[in-house]
Structure 1
């Protein structure tokens, strides 16, 4: 029996053999039709993915792509447009989903309630309301919100200070949200052109692709939200390797600075002050209208 999927879960995967079993098992608790679209970009865990795809259930459809060392940005663009469901839920290959299905159902409820909600982040986000610029990164030092504040060495990240009253999930309007999770309607993702491939020079990490799409949505009249789906992030200590340490971190920081400058050139007069002021107003309006409530100890 074929079921139309409630959600298409999209993942760009690259060589994480120690955590692939934990990662995939965390995704298989959903009690409704799901489409899994995975690109094993390293072609290293094909046997493991094939084993999960062979599970005896008619709820899950599987599509395993082999895109041959494609950049993360292009990978997510291609995989998302391949989705059968209107709900595209992009995840990272080092994040484990919670046991309860609310990480999907809350996203559905938020998108159904807020028709102008263009993108929904499930990791971290920023509002560029700071008084200073981080010189080397060309980034405003405004408020940061989201998952695992205790892991932020700078101490800048805070828990989401608001909650959606009716749905009962931490939620706020946010200027820029990080991938991933990153949730969008497939039709809107296609309409606005997906992630900007100019943020993915060959051999370099695609830094800022998520922020630029967030800004673009605000500029086009959509809104961007941040919620807490309860994921456990970086379960394989991925932030201790790759482009997050040593010489590669310096290269990464240089790329981040260049891409952040590009956003100012792309959205003059909008990014960052005017847009962030509008986001702050939306949060205050939500609190006044009692759609959003301030979490104890938080500030709206």
Structure 2
């Protein structure tokens, strides 16, 4: 049984992202293309494969689904590479995709561009589309580039020129003492570790618009002006303006750490664990219905060695980053891949009225991420402090009952109706336990977070044969389903 464990660990933790070797990878999840059969992927009405232009429609109809996918990937890669090469020719240095990593030079970019151009031509000449142009490769390529450039995809190997790597989303409402403090501390924290950041602020009180407008002079503050739309809508509005590959949800009653080491750890973790979509930085649950309260603070597991091996390093402690798979994590801070935010549609806006807090919106986003095939985790960060000038808006006497009482009840009931009736959370408890059991070792046996007075579920013993079979079944597809043999 022990011989199987390393194989399963490799499956659960794909490890280092593949380096670009001439095949330009535009998917920032770095998932191997070979695991997907694109011949079986249905084409949804209104998808890019059915464009409004007649000649584009005719062109796409001559391609199989896998060929359409290959053409779109190549076209978007070519557009991105042309942009990067043009920037270098103008003397604008490309930023690296992670701390301490080196951006490719023009020769490398040109070789990647040549590889994608050859690949595009080959796919087109092998397809039925070639007959539309009397076998002319140049004509087929020209049409494919005109019809396949509907949108650009995030690069996997590079951050787009002048594009921040991290976008911090701040919901701001009537806390004038923190305006300059948060902006200054956050940008200083990013600069201390060489991470390009922007602060996208939903300014929810229009009377203070000028205070945030003054911060724009720093160059990395992007204000979005609203009028008490509040958390769910405010964060969604900020996310639509954000340009970073990773989004960090922040609140205006929290002051960022002076050191940006937490950013390095966060980026190392996302890089080492390509299926990780959400990383809580505040509080978390291992099993919602079997725990009496949230958890916080450093996790009990040994550092993840995968995070010490990726570009830029990682780990405030030696040997990697300490973290844990989690069932649900709380606002805020909370880091989310921008790709995931777009895929699942951001925060649920239908559970709250304008001006209401977003209680349970964080948990609902986590649930949707699990359903979509992503993973959720938690990492403790040091140095974050509460703003001492005034209590948080959800903790004042006038708003606490409306937020934690009425809105909390609405959120819990919506979660129960949407997910819990079919045993969803029970199955999710088991999945998180399995991932933690296979991925980590305990720093000390007595620190086991399972089978305690606070978490009446699971244990930290070596996975049994049933768990190993369940792990193998888990890897057969991305969809969430019950894990047999793990009822504990």
Q: Can you give the 5+ residue segments of structure 1 that lack an aligned partner in the other structure?
A: 132-140, 148-158
Tell me, yes or no, if the aligned pair for 2:288 and 2:328 is still in contact at 8 Å. no
In 2, Cα distance between equivalents of 1:247 and 1:48: 25
- Cα displacement (A) at 1:213: 0.7
How many residue pairs get aligned? The number is 271
In structure 2, the CA distance between the partners of 1:203 and 1:62, relative to structure 1 (3 Å rule), is closer
Q: Which of 315, 321, 337 is residue 169 of structure 1 equivalent to?
A: 321
- Name whichever of 13-22 and 240-249 sits farther off: 240-249
| Residues 149-164 of structure 1: pairs in structure 2 closer than 5 A | 159-164=298-303
In 1, Cα distance between equivalents of 2:446 and 2:174: 40
| Residues 71-86 of structure 1: pairs in structure 2 closer than 5 A | 71-86=230-245
Tell me, yes or no, if the aligned pair for 1:36 and 1:61 is still in contact at 8 Å. yes
Q: Which of 273, 276, 290 is residue 114 of structure 1 equivalent to?
A: 273
Tell me, yes or no, if the aligned pair for 2:282 and 2:330 is still in contact at 8 Å. yes
Residue in 1 that maps onto 2:23: none
Say which one has the larger Rg.
Answer: 2
- Cα displacement (A) at 1:297: 6.2
In 2, Cα distance between equivalents of 1:221 and 1:266: 18
| Residues 205-284 of structure 1: pairs in structure 2 closer than 5 A | 205-236=357-388, 240=391, 242-246=393-397, 248-251=399-402, 252-267=404-419, 268-284=421-437
In 2, Cα distance between equivalents of 1:287 and 1:276: 16
Cα deviations across residues 199-245 of structure 1 (Å, max 9, x unaligned)? 2134432210001111111122211011123252432366x464435
| Residues 1-300 of structure 1: pairs in structure 2 closer than 5 A | 3-29=162-188, 30-31=190-191, 32-55=195-218, 60-128=219-287, 131=290, 141-142=291-292, 144-147=294-297, 159-166=298-305, 167=315, 168-236=320-388, 240=391, 242-246=393-397, 248-251=399-402, 252-267=404-419, 268-287=421-440, 293-294=442-443, 298-300=447-449
Tell me, yes or no, if the aligned pair for 1:9 and 1:88 is still in contact at 8 Å. yes
In 2, Cα distance between equivalents of 1:47 and 1:163: 47
In structure 2, the CA distance between the partners of 1:95 and 1:273, relative to structure 1 (3 Å rule), is same
Tell me, yes or no, if the aligned pair for 1:13 and 1:93 is still in contact at 8 Å. yes
In 2, Cα distance between equivalents of 1:44 and 1:285: 52
In structure 2, the CA distance between the partners of 1:245 and 1:92, relative to structure 1 (3 Å rule), is closer
In 2, Cα distance between equivalents of 1:205 and 1:11: 14
Tell me, yes or no, if the aligned pair for 2:275 and 2:375 is still in contact at 8 Å. yes
In 1, Cα distance between equivalents of 2:401 and 2:166: 38
In structure 2, the CA distance between the partners of 1:229 and 1:295, relative to structure 1 (3 Å rule), is farther
In 2, Cα distance between equivalents of 1:237 and 1:213: 31
In structure 2, the CA distance between the partners of 1:201 and 1:173, relative to structure 1 (3 Å rule), is same
In structure 2, the CA distance between the partners of 1:38 and 1:250, relative to structure 1 (3 Å rule), is closer
In structure 2, the CA distance between the partners of 1:163 and 1:189, relative to structure 1 (3 Å rule), is farther
Q: Under a length normalisation based on structure 2, what TM-score does the superposition of the two structures give?
A: 0.51
In 2, Cα distance between equivalents of 1:234 and 1:271: 35
- Cα displacement (A) at 1:175: 0.8
Q: Under a length normalisation based on structure 1, what TM-score does the superposition of the two structures give?
A: 0.80
In structure 2, the CA distance between the partners of 1:254 and 1:128, relative to structure 1 (3 Å rule), is farther
- Cα displacement (A) at 1:196: 0.8
- Cα displacement (A) at 1:283: 1.0
In structure 2, the CA distance between the partners of 1:228 and 1:163, relative to structure 1 (3 Å rule), is farther
- Cα displacement (A) at 1:89: 1.6
